[in-house]
Amino acid sequence: MSLDLRWLSAPEAEVAAAMAGIRRDSRPGWVPTKRQVLVHVNHCLLLWYLCIAFMTIGIRVDGMQDGTASPSDFRDLGIAVAILAVWLCGTFWLYRWAAKPPSPRARIAQWRQTLTALANGLHPQPSSVATFPSLISHARRGVREYPRFVAPNLEFGNLTQQASRATHWHYLALRLPAPLPHLILDSTANNGAVSDLPGTVARNQRLSLEGDFDRWFHLYTPAEYERDALYLFTPDVMAAFIDDAAGYNVEIIDDTLVFFTSPAADFTTAQPWESVYAIVTGVAPRVARRALYYRDERAPHSAGHHASASARTGGQTVMEASDESWMHQQPAIGPDGRRLQIRNRHTSPVWSALGAVGWFLTLTLLYAVPGLFAFAGLMSIIDGW
């Protein structure tokens, strides 16, 4: 099945008419708009203005005039209050403006990606928590997925980690017919001086593959699972990764195959749709076929496994279970192969605590500190009245 991208370039009137028939709100309420962010910036600046104005006059009254306010102090205070009144009027207007629906241009852009998803058998389903396991979604409650497009055994979109820096990712997550050892492919195409992975993988877990695959990806596999990785990365699988997913980091964790890269994608353009489609039709079926027949002899009851699945390619569905179901007894992967050794500062209790303290100090600096100093300055002026 071919990829349908006609809504990305359709006339605006046609897009609006199509959305009117669907009656779907494409943006969740918990996703802040640029206008709402501007409101918060305005509140912060307003507090700092009051802090500077009142503290300047208060210090002059207390420190230079023995606690007695002069006529010039009242004049400056009147000017400051007049500016504050004008600013508050502007804040009220800004608040009302931010509460309005998005601009027609922004709405059309959102509708285009929604209609494109529906045309390809996908459903827009934003999520305020992580919906799949991976390096980029370890803190489930600190993750936002928007936009997010979902089909059976497949989802993709943009993901934001709210509690860390460099937090915006474009991702694709697919469900495999059976679990595999924990593997990571670090794409060299999106690395700078260092890797862009959100965690540090122990170097002794790196495995070199044949050909020029190492020029495109650095493969990490658990100790003693090197042969298992070679089973998965056959020449045709490696070629598919190079051809269709060279710009993505890849993680295989349990029965989930995750592709991710930074920055976030613009789904009002064709490029991310085409990239996802290439992976879904080129890379994913090959990995699924290898996963289907993989057995980890280190796992208890591994001989009792039986699997079968179909790997249909197309815009609507990537992998669906066939009439023959996949059955296994846990664990399907041996203990040593379930997780790589990864040092991720965001999952460390110490770093989590430091992050919480840092966030508290930031809010204190932006709001509490100027508010308290503005109040102290005002009290100094009142005392000198």
Q: What is the mean pLDDT of residues 171-179?
A: 95
Q: Are 263 and 196 in contact (CB under 8 A)?
A: no
Burial of residue 91 (number of CB atoms within 10 Å: 0-12, 13-18, 19+): middle
Instruction: Quote the CA–CA distance of 68 and 61 in Å, as a whole number.
Output: 6
Contact, 200 vs 311, CB < 8 A?
A: no
User: Where is 343: in which H helix or E strand?
Assistant: strand 342-343
User: Does the reported pTM lie above 0.85?
Assistant: no
What share of the chain has pLDDT > 90, as a percent? 42
| C-alpha distance across the termini of the chain, in Å | 79
Q: Indicate the range of 192-196, 261-265, 356-360, 372-376 predicted with least confidence.
A: 356-360
* Cis peptide leading into residue 147 (ω within 30°): yes
Confidence of residue 373 (pLDDT cuts 50, 70, 90): confident
Give Cα 213 distance to the centre of its chain.
Answer: 28
Residues linked to residue 186 through DSSP beta bridges, in sequence order:
218
Among 366, 347, 364, which Cα is nearest to 164's? Answer: 347
pLDDT of 94 > 50? The answer is yes
User: What mean pLDDT, rounded, does the chain reach?
Assistant: 82
Structure tokens at 92: 């009220």
The whole-number average pLDDT for the span 209-230 is 91
